[in-house]
Structure 1
Amino acid sequence: MLDFQFNLLAVLLVLVTGVLAYILYFELELILGTFTFYTYSIWGIATFKEALLLILAGNVFPAYFYPQVLKQVASYLPFQYSFSAVGMLAQTPSWQLFLQIVVIQIGYIILLILLFKVLFKWSSTKTVIQGG
């Protein structure tokens, strides 16, 4: 019975961080969407973002294979907290890791929503729409 409760708790921890990771990824997409005010095609920017996500989130290779400099840079960016942090927690569930991930995810969520609001306000005041 104790083993079942531990697994249920681990699933709950992963679900919470998964929901926060999705919100974080959604905010990254919102910020990317503000660039549509300045370009006809966002394909190149979106492709670049996907490449960054694959590399810096540890989706191409696990992050522990990266050189120390790249690990250090990736640890300060929100990409790994929208993908690989959930996997790390699923592999080794612990309260300490859970709290660390959740605090960082919530911090990035707040920071990115503020950044989006500033970018959107600035972009929408500079937009000129022509047509009939």
Structure 2
Amino acid sequence: MTVGQLAGMIAAVAFVVLVIALVWFLVQVVKAIQQATANLADLTKEATELSHQADGILKNTNELLEDINDKADKVDPAFVAVGEVGQSVSDLNDASRDFMDHLAQRRARRNKWTTKLGEAVAVSLFNRLKNRKKEK
């Protein structure tokens, strides 16, 4: 074997080793891409399921909010009525106080008048009694 043939043989072996390494590398790349594709498919499937669940939750939330708004609209007049009743009770309380003050003033005037009348009657009786004693 000559040096040229030996060099050709070394080059051929090196080429075969290079091709084998390249094939092994490509096989690993293909496996990685297949695994990435499978993972991506699983993620897509799970994302789709989550999206459907989120849509369901959003729909339920919207329905609940509509229901709460409807009920709040129905309850608002009741709160307004309770507020009006409270105002009416307050007004009635004020009117009752005014009436009681008026009665107290009338009672005070009546007591003053009754006292003066009683004094006048007592003085009159006393004077009659005194005059009777003088006549006797």
Q: TM-score, length-normalised on structure 2?
A: 0.29
Q: Which has the larger radius of gyration?
A: 2
Higher relative contact order (Cα pairs below 8 Å, separated by 6+ residues): 1
Question: Which structure features the higher share of helix residues?
Answer: 2
